[in-house]
Amino acid sequence: MINVLVTGSNGQLASCIKDIENQYSGLNFIYTDYLDLDICDLDQVSSFFKSNLEFHYCINCAAYTAVDKAEKEIQQAYSINAIGAKNLAKLCSENNTTLIHISTDFVFDGKSLLPYTEKDLETPLSVYGKSKLKGEEEIISTFNNYFILRTAWLYSEHGNNFMKTMLRLAETRNEISVVSDQIGTPTYAKDLAEVILKIIDSNNQNYGLFHYSNEGVASWFDFAKTIFQIFKIEIKTHAIKTSEYPTPAIRPAYSVLNKDKIKTTLKMETYNWQESLKKCMFNYKNLVK
C-alpha cells in the first residue's frame, strides 16, 4: 500500500482528490488541515512525520490563496506558501517522500504573447505570486524528488471559486460586469486531481516542474458567459476592462500555460475547458440536490 499525505484537506483540490480516491485502491490517503498539521511549524511537521506511517508521497494542497489580502498580509502569505513548502520539502527529503506541490500561473507577469513554458522567466507582479515562486525555489533547492505543478484559474464544485461566485451572484442580480482583458484558461480542479493521482499510481519518476491546465483560451468574461450558458441562467453580462475594476493585487493580463512538457514527459491528457466545465456542472448539480 502506498501512503499519501494530503495537506490542505478542506480546499477544493483536496476535496476533488477525495472524490476520486476510490478509483485508486492501491493508495492510502491521510488528510490533514492546519489544525492537524501546521506546515509553517518545522517542529510540528517533523513530529508529524515521525509519529505517523511512512509517507511515500506528500501532496501539498495547503496554500494562502487570498490574492488581494496577501498585499497586506505579506508575512502570512510567505509563511504558508514559502516557509510551509520549505518545511515539507525538508521532511520529505529526510524521509524519502516524493513531494507533489501545487503552484500558479501568477509567477508570470502576463506580458507574453505566447503560452508560458516551464523555461520562461518568472516575474510575478503580486505578493501572492512572489510567495508562490519563493515556495518553488525552496523546494528545488532542497532536494530532487518533487513534482511542482503550476496551474491556473482553478474551479470545482467545492470550496470558493469563480464559478460558484458567478452562480451565487446570479441568484440576486439581473446583470453583472466581468473583466474581459485578463486572458487564461479555466481549469477544473478534478482534472488536476486525476493528474496527481495518475503520477502516483504509475510510479512516475520524471521529477521536475510542469505546467497543467485545461486546454483553450478565455477571458474571465468568456468564462462567466459560458457558466451562465451551461447552467441555463439568463443574466445580462457586460465586458469591462481591468482598469474599471481595480484590485489591490495586479493580475497578469495573459497567463495561458503551455502543457507540452507534461503531455510528452508524463504522458498526461489535457481536456478542453468548456467540456470540463460541463462535467463540473453535472457533478455540482448532483452535489446540491
What secondary structure letter does DSSP report for 123? -
Q: Which of 95, 97, 130, 124 is nearest to 108 (CA)?
A: 124
Separation CA 249–CA 70 (nearest Å)? 8
Separation CA 114–CA 283 (nearest Å)? 33
What secondary structure letter does DSSP report for 160? S
Q: How many CB atoms lie within 10 A of CB 287?
A: 11
Ramachandran area for residue 159 (φ above 0: left; ψ -120 to 50: alpha; else beta)? left
Separation CA 17–CA 197 (nearest Å)? 8
Q: Which of 128, 188, 212, 284 is catalytic?
A: 128
78 is catalytic: no
* Cβ density class 10-49: b for 16+ within 10 Å, e for less: ebbbbbbbebebeebeebebbbbbbeebbbbbbeebeebb
Which residues are catalytic, by number? 128
